[in-house]
Structure 1
């Protein structure tokens, strides 16, 4: 297994929320966009909350900008087999404190899943909220459940 490198952050000058994932999936890395795997419910959750249908990368980026949401992952790079968070090893963390320092309008960190939350606490112990992963592997939560939980944190 070779080391994989995640994406740069997506941030706008007046964002209020940072949604933090763990590491982009294989499909996302191949397509060059966060949550690109059609089975991941991340964009569907945001569509439902904000009543903004998004299909293209440009529409997704516009939704984030309009809703003042920054997006990044806790892992800058790691060793991982497939897309499973449980196989993440040898992590080099992104500098989340520096992102927050550079963007003081960010008031809240929402972690997309337990891995993101646990790694954020391990490396930086920053105040954050842990929401269930939007991954299809997290079948315990239906789309409606995710929308309700995320809506409570985003609005």
Structure 2
């Protein structure tokens, strides 16, 4: 199946950019980042940002992040894939981060939601990796396929980068 990712959820005040690899089947069907109900991304973000819970409405979820200067996008813009597993991704095309960072110069922290996101970013953006004004953080995936990482473990790892103070 040919998959095309989403545009970034971003505004000019964003300082943190969280990158997935490519939206899964459920996310593509619903046209929403992290739409699978077992993906722990939204509950994790609510917890790290000291919210009672993640908003039910998708647009409110995006606003919760944007209020905290957090943008969302993916390392891969298009690919071939059957199913939702990152290991099934073939013929990937990276997104244009040189242009994104030029258009949104306040971004200083880039977080990778899982190994495939980090791997794809490195493959297509080698020149950006040497920029001293950017910090890069490979974090464990919030995907239900990464079941060995419990929510408390994810919160500990992600909480070193995404904190209410940093994201305010």
TM class by shorter chain equals over 0.9
Are 1:107 and 2:115 counterparts?
Answer: no
User: Which runs of structure 1 show a deviation greater than 2 angstroms over 4 or more consecutive aligned residues?
Assistant: none
- Which residue in the other structure is 1:133 paired with? 141
- Separation (CA, whole Å) in 2 of partners of 1:62 and 1:14: 12
- Which residue in the other structure is 2:157 paired with? 149
- Separation (CA, whole Å) in 1 of partners of 2:35 and 2:103: 27
2:161 partner SS: helix
User: Displacement of 1:140 after TM fit?
Assistant: 1.5
Are 1:22 and 2:30 counterparts?
Answer: no
- 1:40-99 deviations in Å (ceiling 9; x for gaps): 000011011112222111220111111100100011110001000001010111101210
1:154 partner SS: coil
- 1:3-24 deviations in Å (ceiling 9; x for gaps): 1101011101110100000000
- Separation (CA, whole Å) in 1 of partners of 2:36 and 2:61: 14
How many residue pairs align between the two structures? 154
- Separation (CA, whole Å) in 2 of partners of 1:75 and 1:97: 14
Calculate the TM-score normalised by the size of structure 1.
Answer: 0.96
The gaps in structure 2 that reach 5 residues or longer are 130-135, 164-168
- Which residue in the other structure is 2:67 paired with? 66
- Separation (CA, whole Å) in 1 of partners of 2:28 and 2:12: 25
Q: Which moved more, 1:117-126 or 1:17-26?
A: 117-126
The gaps in structure 1 that reach 5 residues or longer are none
- Separation (CA, whole Å) in 1 of partners of 2:63 and 2:77: 24
- Separation (CA, whole Å) in 2 of partners of 1:51 and 1:73: 25
1:14 partner SS: coil
1:133 partner SS: coil
- Separation (CA, whole Å) in 2 of partners of 1:60 and 1:78: 26
- Separation (CA, whole Å) in 1 of partners of 2:38 and 2:97: 27
